[in-house]
């Protein structure tokens, strides 16, 4: 019956009941698919006060659990604890107007160790260091200056040591592009092929 023309009776039921009962509510009255009902309602410019419940059967305990823990731990944790799909949890959180605040970042995280990130880590993870690497790669044509190997697996090597010459760390003239093999040979380290 899905490909047949809509009867006046079906259209009447749709216009009367769709705004209050929604797709699922009217599907029992009209033997049409939910997609066909939504499509016809859209064409008739009917709006529904009751949204389509794509993820039914949330019991009270699950809803209370989500309301209690979603804000603190977020969707991924709730998915594991509730054994529900991520789209289902995200949809229910949206319906319940719940927001994930990420309150466990920084000092409020149980793994916080007083902000002990080393200067080495701060520099290596900085935007300036990333820019320095790209400038060195760009200058050398994204190729190893030792063997000429292009592309993937290239490293930006400091000519004068990163640890001993802090003022030269971000100087483009203190960097050269090397492939993984040449870089390891330069430091007399074994090459780990992963």
Residue ranges per structural domain of the chain: 1-52, 60-106, 119-186
Q: Is this structure's pTM higher than 0.85?
A: no
DSSP string, 9-77: HHHHHHHHHHHHHHHHHHHTTS-S-HHHHHHHHHHTT---SS---SS----HHHHHHHHHHHHHHHHHH
119-186 CATH fold: 3.40.1800
**pLDDT tens sequence for the chain (194 residues):** 456 788 888 888 888 887 777 777 787 788 888 788 888 888 888 776 555 445 557 888 888 888 888 888 888 888 888 888 888 888 888 888 888 776 666 776 777 777 777 888 888 888 898 899 889 989 999 999 988 888 788 999 999 888 888 899 899 999 999 998 888 888 876 554 43
How far is Cα 63 from Cα 163, in angstroms, rounded to an integer?
A: 54
Q: At what angle do helices 60-82 and 86-95 cross, to 10 degrees?
A: 140
């Amino acid at each position: 019956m899905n490909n047949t023309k809509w009867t006046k009776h079906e259209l009447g039921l749709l216009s009367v009941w769709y705004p209050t009962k929604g797709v699922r509510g009217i599907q029992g009255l009209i033997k049409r698919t939910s997609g066909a009902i939504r499509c016809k309602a859209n064409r008739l410019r009917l709006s529904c006060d009751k949204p389509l419940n794509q993820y039914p059967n949330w019991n009270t305990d699950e809803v209370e659990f989500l309301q209690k823990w979603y804000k603190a731990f977020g969707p991924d944790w709730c998915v594991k604890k509730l054994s529900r799909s991520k789209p289902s949890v995200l949809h229910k959180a949206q319906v319940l107007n719940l927001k994930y605040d990420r309150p466990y970042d920084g000092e409020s995280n149980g793994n916080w160790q007083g902000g002990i990130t080393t200067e080495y880590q701060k520099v290596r993870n900085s935007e300036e260091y990333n820019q320095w690497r790209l400038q060195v790669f760009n200058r050398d044509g994204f190729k190893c200056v030792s063997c000429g190997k292009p592309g993937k697996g290239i490293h930006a090597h400091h000519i004068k040591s990163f640890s001993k010459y802090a003022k030269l760390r971000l100087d483009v003239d203190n960097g050269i592009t090397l492939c993984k093999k040449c870089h390891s040979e330069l430091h007399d380290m074994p090459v780990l092929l992963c």
